[in-house]
């Protein structure tokens, strides 16, 4: 009995000891759970903070575009350009809220576009965060067009076009690439394009989605619009200098800074360490583009040309936008150099061969260099998981040509062509329609007088005496 | 010694390029140009600022000065008048003013040789 | 004995096993504790980072204000305006450190103001962080006044006023609203206002604290100061165009970007997900304000007016500042549209009826739209915890009129009136005193000559020929 | 038997119970480990985000410098100044990637410089992050020089100098201070300098590394270059006003904002709470510097001088750059006030005594105030671990003179002198060599005509009529 | 054919609006205006830059040109003199210059009809 | 009553300071100056924009007007010519134009006394 009692007692004690262990273990379980939640929450919070701030930097690009476009055109059209740029972002905000997001990120319809969440219905903080970051991108696409069509476009016509670009042209292509839908035309696992090419199209931050779309829609626009009066004399391109180089350069620097948000934020994850690679490559390509463009103009005319050098920065930035998270530093520099050459050649080609008039070089910068950036992914990508991309979760999936892969290049060609065709054809149709209904171009008299007076009744610099 | 005249023409800025070409073609390359503001019979331009309309009565004009020998005056006036006229109010005026002496700073040449 | 031994042995083994479990559990306890600390630390760090960066964006608003005020006034007063704006932030930093913070966040005295922590005595990193973010707001309030009083105010007089605004006028009202003190007049649980109204005044980021205060102090200022020479001819308002629209528009875009920090940061918590709602609403309202103002001017004069459209952006931003974290997206758009209309009507009203001269529209933008923003909280607020505000911790407590609540609206009316009365009366007194002691206005000759030459001995653009 | 069975059963149950506890404990172990990893990862991610954004703000300083330098010089040299500033950052990016980083942070060679990691070989995301933040600093050093040498320097010569500064002059001194190498001349534990002085040189964010180096290299430059034509008449300094004060002031505000990243980011750790002290002190010193400079000019000429007041902001910022994380708020204000006085006196001294021509005051701002900032560390530092620096991990180690310490002051004097001598001598040699090989200065005719036309074939403002 | 004269008045910019109104009231609507800088007996203006004072001796002035018939010269001169004078140094000068011909570009009308 | 002349000199902007000093030293302080653009025998300036060269044929010039008595004309012309000439094309021109009357706005003094 004694023993039994002892035995029982001991057993009970042991049981109690065990039980006494259980609550701390359970409590720990709980604190671990709540900690995990906190940590997850912090991760989300960091992403929120990061994307809001990156979105802010991308928003700053609208100031950059305004300044570049105003600075590189004549003083008599400055207020008009500023109004166009301001309205681009204003309409962009509203229309991307109303329609654009729904078409881009709504429920997939036939692999071609989304169609739900109009007016962000059902949004929560994650949605607002994502919408905000995407919205500043959407508006950027439209702004590109305003530069190419500067100094001669009817204000109302431009507004209508901007609305349609943000509502339809931009988000449809965006859906193909960034919606994450299973059947998304260029990136979905279930898409025939992806299956045929054997790789998914990769456009990290939008060399295609934003810049190609903007650039080739602009090309369609300037073709229908025609050149500014006096731009061509007997078919030979003439020079129409911009009125304020300081504005232009300030604009370029603001754009460059904005690109930190544009490319850095495009991991869409505040904890994705590869934002650093993306940013480093972005700055290398921008610098390389500028130096290349400067040297080219130096060799051609004997003097380093400021406005083309500034364009060289943008060329490098546009080109590296797609590949910045997938390539090595040296490749970023090469991509930038080639972009610098493309922008120079592109500007010359547009004027001398196509005979189109693009006052700020938007088509060469955003269109041609955008295409180049998409192809560069297929050439220089290391391949996700390889080398420097060990541990990466958002980069071009397959290696590029230089690393022995072909599939990625194939799909990049397809995606690049899709952007060109879609933007150009949709642009042609929309601009033609607008031309018929509203009239795309101001009258000759209005153009000579300047759009500031005729469209807005003001002069941008009423006190300065100008030529 | 040729008699010299200064022809001062006040024209529309947007006509300037045309007038300049025409003068060049007619052999009158030399000129001095300045931006001025002017008012004549032309009603001013209605502009607006912060939602309020107002009339700017002094409009930007371009003023061309060409100094020529007396015998060329008619030709210059004709060229300018032909190219600068649009027929609507605001086309501007041409004034012909006597010049007593003309000196080329570089060489010190005077009058006829100085043009 | 055998059994006993076995029994004992087993018991000991079990005990040992139990003991061997205890240390890992204790160790885990410790690591969990240190983890919790790390996570808390990270949360704090994220808030620090977020508020420093948001504070930086708010600081950028000083560049925005400088440009808007300079661009929308004449070139002969540009250097003076820039100096005033620069000194506003410089004095703001110093005086808010010296006095302002103490009055605003110091120990409550009679529910009316704070009074401790002068010179930030006893500050640690949390205080510095909070001070920094609040300081950039304080200086903003003063800058608003400089715009309204541009082109005719004595420089020294303006400096004295700025000092007093940052030291007293701003922080006293700020104390009522943001101090968190139990007896804080408009928000403290113990305040009679809150008790009578049955709700606590909500001014998320300062439609009242910053903008109303600045706007109505400006109104007092321009009344005492009188209009610029030539602004009224036989009582009819005349037009005095600004000298550089590009500066004005760049300024507006920088202000807009700054508002991302202004409103986004005002959750004061880097982990508060509702920063996303705040930012989304901010951008929607700004865009809506601009579009509304543009359409109104278009309808009135036949041409979309650039400078009023730019004001429309600011109107939307000021109005959404209070409600941005408490209303749905559609409401933000409505608030913005109404703000756009208010700014247009307000500018006309000020000139045609009040006959006051406010070159940049600061009173309409910050005063009237600030009041509108405060009222809008009482109309459109969803109510904390309801609908989209499920889980929110910093929003208007009670639902607005549209959601069946009356109390929130009542307290908003009271708070809005308090801001008007306090700022206007304090402004009148201070400006009158300054006028008597220093002289508020420059001489007629100085005004004609331009303040740049007479106050600073320079011309802002000495090489340009100006009218 | 019964009992035994029961006993056995119980024992087994107990054992099982114990075993059943082990897996949750092991699982918890694992989740704690993975949590720890997540938390560490988040900490790193926060640092990444913080440094990228701070780096972005520092990058914005290039826009600031461009505007200040353009605004405070004549319109005929504007495009040239803008090109120089743009190329500074472009070359800075490329050369700091190619060489600069390797010399600064590569494997230490004899305590004097680093030598490995050329082209960032072997870089991962941490390296890219660090490189990015350091790179924007490096380019800043070069930009300082461009301001002092404005309006008369051969473009090609300037480019070559910039390359050499970023490749060698800047990173060598940087290695002495920031490399963390054991034998780093001014900060390494094993360095004889540190051992003799008994304290490690502290230059938080670069009053020395960035500003002194830039400032004294600039001094060497302007001595070899000579003053602008017309700057001195019979040995008496003449006035050459800048063409656009608005650009200058916008530039100063952008620089100020950039300094938030410059100093705030220099903790190099997103979780270091002392970033708040650094930022608060930065703003206090900037404001104090401006107010001091304004009052001084007001007393001297009877009018508050805008461009020197703007310089006062920069003076305060440069001076607080080294001590901002080591001193109390009041000390920051004192440091700023003295910096404001130094910049005024320095500008006068340079013109009247040294007879050197520095159009934007870069030598006084960055050189003299940089030195002042380094010394201020040795005077005002609280000492790491003392008072407000309780818990700080990155501040001046020893207390300053005011707190009874002498060693820190000693080593600061040595470090400050080292910066002066190294930058000035290296600058003299490099500029002399460039002068011989390329020719440092443009011809008299080119200078009169303006560098925009002669170096770049354009005019920055072709439509404005200028004097 | 009326004899024409060009009246060139150099006045203070801040007096310009007043002079313009007065001329309008007196029936002389047409004019051409330009911004010039001038120096006379007026001491220059002391300005400062970066803490150093200096004297700008060429001050901004507004130059008005009115071409009228000889008989209107006195009236125009009087109007300008009355409104532009402040009595302190720097008020400016009026020069009267003979004009040989005047042509309206729009119509080709000459002289008297062209004004 | 002294006969008055207006001397209009169009010179290189970069020569302006020198000419101004020389005129001052020679006792001719009063002048009116404006920025103009001009074209003469001087070939234009080749500039570039976005990689494309073009020729700007109107170059910035500074125009000085000095009104003096007839007897001072030679001196003024000489001073200007001596200081403004560089010997290369583009140095500019001097025109001498008769002035019928000169009025000092401040006092109403005429002609000789008005200078
Ligand atoms: N009498 C005048 N004196 C000086 N300038 C004149 C005179 N008349 C016309 N002008 C200049 O000519 C410009 C055009 O004149 P305006 O009378 O409007 O044209 P139109 O000859 O077609 O009626 C005016 O803006 C003004 O600069
Ligand atoms: N002789 C002159 N030649 C050309 N312009 C003159 C002459 N005298 C005066 N002016 C112009 O008139 C302006 C005012 O002249 P000023 O002599 O200062 O005034 P006041 O007549 O009151 O003495 C000068 O700035 C200059 O533009
Ligand atoms: N006939 C003229 N009429 C008006 N301005 C002239 C005339 N000839 C020359 N000019 C002015 O003089 C400037 C210099 O003249 P230019 O002929 O190039 O110099 P140069 O006398 O050395 O040959 C021109 O830019 C123009 O402003």
Ligand 2 atom nearest residue E39's Cα: 25
Task: Determine contact: D328 vs chain C, CB below 8 A.
Answer: no
Contacts of C271 in chain A (CB under 8 A): 41-42, 45
Report how far ligand 3's centroid is from the alpha carbon of C460 (Å).
Answer: 33
CB contact under 8 A, A91 and C291: yes
The predicted pLDDT at position C4 comes to 67
Positive/negative CA dihedral, C129, C134, C135, C137: positive
Residues 233-262 of D with CB under 8 A from A: 244, 247
Q: Where are the alpha helices (DSSP H) in A302-390?
A: 306-321, 329-349, 362, 369-380
Residue C88 CB neighbour total at 10 angstroms: 28
Over residues D151-162, the mean pLDDT reads 98
Q: Interface of chain E against chain F, CB under 8 Å?
A: 5, 9-11, 34-41, 58, 61, 63, 73, 77, 80-81, 84-98
What tokens appear for C42 in the block?
Answer: 């990270």
CB contact under 8 A, B53 and C301: yes
Q: Which ligand is nearest to the CA of E27?
A: 1
Residue with the larger pLDDT of the pair B41 and F47? F47
Q: Which ligand is nearest to the CA of E64?
A: 1
What is the tens place of the pLDDT at every residue in A211-256? 999 999 999 999 999 999 999 999 999 999 999 999 999 999 999 9
The predicted pLDDT at position D4 comes to 66
Q: Measured between alpha carbons, how far is D390 from D251 in angstroms, rounded to an integer?
A: 36
The predicted pLDDT at position C3 comes to 64
The fraction of chain A above a pLDDT of 70, given in percent, is 96
The predicted pLDDT at position B1 comes to 47
Report how far ligand 3's centroid is from the alpha carbon of B70 (Å).
Answer: 17
Over residues E16-20, the mean pLDDT reads 95
CB contact under 8 A, D467 and E48: no
Closest-CA residue of A relative to B49 is: A458
DSSP state of C274: T
Closest-CA residue of D relative to E46 is: D301
Could you tell me if the CB of F93 is within 6 A of ligand 3? yes
- For D369-396, give the secondary structure using H, E and C: HHHHHHHHHHHHCCCCCCHHHCCCCCCC
The predicted pLDDT at position E65 comes to 97
The fraction of chain F above a pLDDT of 70, given in percent, is 97
Closest-CA residue of E relative to B86 is: E106
Contacts of A351 in chain F (CB under 8 A): 52
* Number of cross-chain residue pairs from A and F with Cβ atoms under 8 Å apart: 38
The predicted pLDDT at position B115 comes to 72
CB contact under 8 A, D241 and E52: no
The fraction of chain C above a pLDDT of 90, given in percent, is 91
Ligand 2 atom nearest residue F104's Cα: 21
The predicted pLDDT at position E44 comes to 85
Over residues F73-80, the mean pLDDT reads 96
With cut-offs at 50, 70 and 90, classify the pLDDT of residue E2. low
F64 three-class SS: strand
D118 three-class SS: helix
Identify the residue among D241, D340, D346 best suited for mutation to test binding to E, counting E beta carbons within 10 A and taking the highest: D241
* Res A22 pLDDT > 80: no
* Res F1 pLDDT > 70: no
The predicted pLDDT at position A74 comes to 97
Contacts of C301 in chain B (CB under 8 A): 48, 51-53
Q: Nearest residue CA, atom 16 of ligand 1? A: B40
- Per-position b or e across C240-256, b if 16+ CB within 10 A of its CB: bbbbbbbbbbbbbbbbb
Could you tell me if the CB of F109 is within 6 A of ligand 2? no
With cut-offs at 50, 70 and 90, classify the pLDDT of residue F17. very high
Could you tell me if the CB of B80 is within 6 A of ligand 3? no
What is the tens place of the pLDDT at every residue in E74-110? 999 999 999 999 999 999 999 999 999 999 999 998 8
* Res D21 pLDDT > 90: no
Task: Determine contact: E14 vs chain C, CB below 8 A.
Answer: yes
* Res A344 pLDDT > 90: yes
> Would the pTM of this model clear 0.90, i.e. be above it?
yes
Nearest to A67 by CA among D66, E63, D163: D66
Half-sphere exposure of D166 (CA within 13 A, CB side): 29
Over residues D393-412, the mean pLDDT reads 97
Could you tell me if the CB of B115 is within 6 A of ligand 3? yes
Over residues D232-245, the mean pLDDT reads 96
User: φ and ψ at A112, to 5 degrees?
Assistant: -100, -40
The predicted pLDDT at position C328 comes to 98
CB contact under 8 A, B92 and E103: no
Residue D306 CB neighbour total at 10 angstroms: 30
A300 vs F37, F51, F54: nearest CB: F51
Contacts of D458 in chain A (CB under 8 A): 241, 245, 305-307
* Res D161 pLDDT > 90: yes
ipTM of the complex, rounded to two decimals:
0.96
Residue found by looking up tokens 């699982």 in the block: D27
What tokens appear for D373 in the block?
Answer: 């900032």
Whole-number Cα distances in Å, A190 to A186, A440, C143, C226, D161: 10, 41, 57, 71, 56
User: Are A396 and A381 in contact, with CB atoms under 8 Å apart?
Assistant: yes
With cut-offs at 50, 70 and 90, classify the pLDDT of residue E1. very low
What is the tens place of the pLDDT at every residue in A394-411? 999 999 999 999 999 999
With cut-offs at 50, 70 and 90, classify the pLDDT of residue F2. low
CB contact under 8 A, C243 and A46: no
The predicted pLDDT at position D277 comes to 98
- The Cα of E95 is separated from the nearest Cα of chain C by a number of Å equal to 22
CB contact under 8 A, F51 and A301: yes
The predicted pLDDT at position F111 comes to 77
Contacts of B94 in chain E (CB under 8 A): 101-103, 105
Closest-CA residue of D relative to A46 is: D46
CB contact under 8 A, E99 and B96: yes
Q: Which ligand is nearest to the CA of E105?
A: 1
* Contacting partners of chain F (3+ CB pairs under 8 A): A, B, D, E
Report how far ligand 1's centroid is from the alpha carbon of B20 (Å).
Answer: 20
Kind and range of the H or E run holding D233:
strand D232-233
Best probe residue, ligand 2, of F20, F27, F32, F33 (max atoms within 8 Å of C-beta)? F32
Residue with the larger pLDDT of the pair D27 and C342? C342
With cut-offs at 50, 70 and 90, classify the pLDDT of residue B112. confident
Closest-CA residue of E relative to B97 is: E99
Residues 23-82 of F with CB under 8 A from D: 35, 45-49, 53, 60
Q: Measured between alpha carbons, how far is A309 from C329 in angstroms, rounded to an integer?
A: 42
- For chain B, give the secondary structure using H, E and C: CCCEEEEEEEECHHHHHHHHHHHHHCCCCCEEEEEEEEECCCCCEEEEECCEEEEECCEEEEEEEEEEEHHHHHHHHHHHHHHHCCCCCCCCEEEEEEECEEEECCCCCEHHHHC
A448 vs B14, B35, B45: nearest CB: B14
Q: Which ligand is nearest to the CA of B29?
A: 3
Q: Nearest residue CA, atom 19 of ligand 2? A: E90
Q: Measured between alpha carbons, how far is F100 from A189 in angstroms, rounded to an integer?
A: 91
Q: Measured between alpha carbons, how far is D455 from F98 in angstroms, rounded to an integer?
A: 43
Q: Interface of chain C against chain B, CB under 8 Å?
A: 237-242, 296-297, 300-301, 303, 305, 307-308, 311, 344, 347-348, 351, 361, 467
* Res C65 pLDDT > 70: yes
With cut-offs at 50, 70 and 90, classify the pLDDT of residue B71. very high
The predicted pLDDT at position D266 comes to 97
* Res C421 pLDDT > 60: yes
Q: Measured between alpha carbons, how far is D139 from D134 in angstroms, rounded to an integer?
A: 9
Over residues B58-83, the mean pLDDT reads 96
Report how far ligand 1's centroid is from the alpha carbon of B40 (Å).
Answer: 4
CB contact under 8 A, E49 and C459: no
Q: Measured between alpha carbons, how far is C303 from C288 in angstroms, rounded to an integer?
A: 18
* Res C17 pLDDT > 80: no
Contacts of C467 in chain B (CB under 8 A): 37
Over residues F11-32, the mean pLDDT reads 95
Report how far ligand 2's centroid is from the alpha carbon of F21 (Å).
Answer: 17
Ligand 2 atom nearest residue F6's Cα: 3
Q: Measured between alpha carbons, how far is A361 from A248 in angstroms, rounded to an integer?
A: 12
């Amino acid at each position: 009995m004694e023993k039994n009692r002892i035995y029982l007692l001991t057993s009970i004690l042991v049981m109690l000891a065990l039980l006494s262990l259980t609550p701390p273990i359970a409590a720990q379980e709980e604190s671990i759970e709540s900690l995990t939640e906190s940590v997850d929450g912090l991760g989300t919070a960091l992403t929120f903070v990061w994307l809001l701030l990156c979105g802010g930097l991308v928003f700053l690009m609208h100031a950059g575009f305004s300044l570049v476009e105003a600075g590189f055109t004549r003083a008599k059209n400055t207020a008009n350009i500023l109004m166009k740029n301001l309205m681009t972002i204003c309409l962009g905000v509203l229309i991307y809220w109303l329609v654009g997001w729904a078409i881009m990120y709504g429920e997939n319809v036939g692999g071609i576009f989304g169609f739900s969440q109009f007016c962000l219905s059902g949004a929560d903080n994650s949605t607002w965060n994502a919408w905000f970051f995407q919205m500043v991108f959407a508006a950027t696409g439209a702004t590109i067009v305003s530069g190419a069509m500067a100094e001669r476009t009817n204000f109302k016509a431009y507004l209508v076009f901007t609305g349609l670009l943000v509502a339809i042209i931009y988000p449809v292509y965006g859906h193909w690439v960034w919606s994450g839908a299973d059947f998304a035309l260029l990136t979905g696992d279930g898409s025939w394009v992806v299956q045929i090419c054997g790789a998914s199209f990769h456009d990290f931050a939008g060399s295609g989605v934003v810049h190609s779309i903007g650039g080739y829609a602009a090309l369609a626009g300037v073709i229908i619009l025609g050149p500014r009066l006096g731009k061509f004399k007997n078919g030979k391109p003439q020079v129409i200098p911009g009125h304020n180089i300081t504005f232009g350069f300030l604009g370029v620097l603001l754009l460059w800074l904005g690109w930190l948000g544009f490319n850095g934020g495009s991991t869409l994850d505040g904890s994705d360490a590869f934002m650093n690679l993306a940013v480093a490559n972005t700055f290398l390509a921008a610098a390389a583009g500028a130096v290349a463009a400067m040297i080219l103009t130096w060799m051609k005319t004997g003097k380093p040309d400021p406005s083309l050098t500034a364009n060289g920065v943008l060329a490098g930035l546009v080109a590296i936008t797609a590949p910045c998270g997938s390539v090595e530093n040296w490749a970023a520099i090469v991509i930038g150099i080639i972009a610098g050459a493309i922008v120079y050649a592109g500007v010359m080609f547009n004027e001398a061969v196509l005979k189109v008039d693009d006052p700020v070089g938007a088509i060469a910068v955003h269109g041609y260099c955008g295409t180049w950036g998409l192809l560069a992914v297929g050439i220089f990508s290391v391949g996700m998981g390889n080398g420097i991309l060990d541990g990466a979760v958002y980069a071009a999936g397959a290696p590029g040509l230089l690393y022995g892969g072909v599939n990625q290049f194939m799909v990049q060609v397809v995606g690049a062509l899709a952007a060109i065709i879609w933007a150009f054809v949709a642009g042609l149709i929309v601009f033609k329609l607008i031309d018929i209904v509203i009239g795309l171009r101001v009258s000759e008299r209005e153009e000579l007088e300047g759009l500031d007076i005729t469209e807005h009744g003001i002069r941008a610099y009423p006190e300065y005496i100008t030529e | 010694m040729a008699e010299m005249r200064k022809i001062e023409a006040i024209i529309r800025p947007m006509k300037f390029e045309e007038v300049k070409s025409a003068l060049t073609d007619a052999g009158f390359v030399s000129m001095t140009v300045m931006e001025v503001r002017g008012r004549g019979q032309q009603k001013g331009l209605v502009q607006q600022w912060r939602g309020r309309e107002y009339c700017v009565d002094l409009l930007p004009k371009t003023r061309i000065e060409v100094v020529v020998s007396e015998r060329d005056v008619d030709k210059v006036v004709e060229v300018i008048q032909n190219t600068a006229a649009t027929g609507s109010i605001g086309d501007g005026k041409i004034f012909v003013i006597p010049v007593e002496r003309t000196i080329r700073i570089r060489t010190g040449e005077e009058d006829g040789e100085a043009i």
